[in-house]
């Protein structure tokens, strides 16, 4: 018989990398068969992508939706639509995927990294305001792990300066920010979603961008199709665009996934709420406080240094030994310290956009630029992979594992140093 401190055998956890963690069934198979049977696999000759745009806009509560080939493409459409010019600055958080800044760099813009709230990992109105310069054109507020950034506060803070607010909702389907009942993505000027393999719903890859502004929607539609105004019957190109078209196969699979989204999010909330309730008494852990508004792409736990004598990476490793899918720090390093950003690699260290007049200051990316984000990634941020197909057995195993690691990591009264 195992002792009381012996880790219990882990159940097999559903994974979004295979069918165990996805809700893919006969509806998706029928959708693919329908498209293949039609012979129309490109959106320029089919009807699936246009149908998806109408259905998603209606479901999320937006006037317009534009389908694209990936979540990164969706963000690039948004950045292009706001008219970013060479040397313009866009404020972003350091804890996010590279896709958040890829479009900025591609448009010869400059990502400016503002620090984050040390519990949510999201931008705040205060950190955004501190990063504004005369060249600031937009803010991309990332709703991290399914938790909402304070997007209304950010809008109120930047609107007098005419700054556009883009919401990155790649991890935040049906997330509801504070201050109302509107979904994330519908509050700012533009919202961007991802259909990549690990997201709440998936077509393998794909993106959706929403807005209430018809002019922005048209610019995004044209940019995704090489600037070609097909609706006018002309074979011309109004501006340089890219081929970011979503295929009809992607669109058909997404249309089959869309009716399942509410159930996916509801089941993630149900199981995450149970885990949060079971862990709420543990000192030294910050847990999501409004699970009914959270999308739970992942379940974040933020450690309190000085209360626990363990860092996030050791905590995650200890959970992994117990079979729990956990990641310490989420990223290897904050985005501003990755080589692609830090070295200004896309354009060369001496070239545009960093040297575009009237560049009145040197733009460089250094350790210490965002100390709160850097500390989260290095020491305090822990995420547990979450899934709609978790059952009580999975939740109970996670809870037992977290409690076991936590109990062994409580700092002694004289203040044991925290290991990372």
Q: Hey, which residues are catalytic here?
A: 199
Residue 196: strand pairing partners? 204
Rounded to 5 degrees, φ, ψ at 236 are -145, 175
Residue 43 near residue 49 (C-beta atoms within 8 A): yes
Least Cα distance to 376 among 338, 330, 418, 341 occurs for 330
Residues of 115-145 as b/e, b for ≥16 C-beta within 10 angstroms?
Answer: bbbbbbbbbbbebbeebbeebbbbbbbbbbb
How far apart are alpha carbons 244 and 222 in whole angstroms? 10
Q: What CA–CA distance (Å, rounded) separates 11 from 143?
A: 30
Which of 290, 256, 275, 283 is closest to 33 using CA atoms?
A: 256
Residue 178 token pair: 């504070």
CA distance 149 to 126: 12
CB-based burial label for 174 (10 Å; 0-12, 13-18, 19+) = buried
Distance CA(283)–CA(308), nearest Å, equals: 8
Rg, the chain, Cα only: 22
Q: Does a cis peptide bond (omega within 30 degrees of 0) precede residue 358?
A: yes
Q: Are 193 and 62 spatial neighbours (Cβ–Cβ below 8 Å)?
A: no
């Amino acid at each position: 018989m195992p002792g009381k401190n012996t880790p219990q055998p882990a159940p097999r956890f559903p994974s979004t990398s295979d069918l165990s963690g996805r809700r893919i069934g006969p509806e998706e198979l029928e959708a693919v068969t329908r498209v293949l049977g039609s012979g129309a696999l490109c959106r320029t000759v089919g009807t699936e992508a246009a149908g998806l745009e109408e259905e998603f806009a209606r479901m999320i509560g937006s006037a317009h939706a534009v389908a694209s080939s990936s979540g990164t493409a969706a963000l690039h459409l948004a950045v292009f639509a706001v008219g970013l010019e060479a040397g313009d600055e866009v404020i972003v958080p350091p804890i996010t995927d590279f896709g958040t800044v890829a479009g900025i760099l591609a448009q010869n813009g400059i990502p400016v990294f503002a620090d984050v709230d040390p519990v949510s990992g999201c931008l705040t109105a205060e950190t955004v305001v501190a990063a504004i310069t005369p060249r600031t054109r937009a803010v991309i507020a990332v709703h991290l792990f399914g938790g909402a950034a304070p997007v209304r506060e950010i809008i109120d803070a930047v609107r007098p300066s005419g700054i556009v607010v883009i919401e990155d909702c790649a991890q935040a389907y049906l997330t509801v920010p504070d201050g109302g009942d509107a979904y994330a993505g519908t509050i700012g000027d533009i919202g961007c979603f991802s259909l990549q393999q690990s997201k709440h719903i998936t077509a393998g890859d794909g993106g959706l961008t929403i807005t209430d502004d018809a002019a922005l929607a048209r610019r995004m539609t044209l940019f995704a199709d090489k600037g070609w105004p097909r609706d006018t019957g002309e074979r011309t190109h109004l501006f340089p665009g890219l081929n970011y078209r979503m295929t009809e196969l992607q669109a058909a699979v997404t249309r089959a996934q869309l009716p399942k989204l509410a159930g996916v999010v509801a089941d993630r909330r149900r199981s995450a709420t149970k885990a949060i309730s079971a862990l709420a008494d543990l000192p030294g852990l910050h847990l999501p406080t409004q699970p009914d508004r959270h999308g739970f792409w992942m379940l974040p736990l933020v450690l309190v240094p000085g209360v626990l004598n363990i860092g996030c990476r050791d905590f995650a490793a200890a959970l992994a030994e117990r079979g729990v899918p956990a990641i310490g720090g989420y990223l290897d390093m904050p985005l501003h310290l990755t080589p692609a950003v830090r070295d200004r690699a896309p354009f060369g260290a001496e070239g545009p956009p960093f040297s575009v007049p009237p560049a009145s200051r040197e733009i460089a990316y250094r350790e210490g630029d965002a100390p709160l984000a850097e500390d989260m990634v290095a020491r305090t941020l822990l995420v547990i992979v979450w899934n709609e197909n978790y059952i009580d057995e999975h939740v109970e195993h996670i809870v037992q594992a977290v409690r076991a690691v936590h109990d062994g990591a409580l700092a002694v009264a004289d203040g044991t140093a925290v290991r990372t």
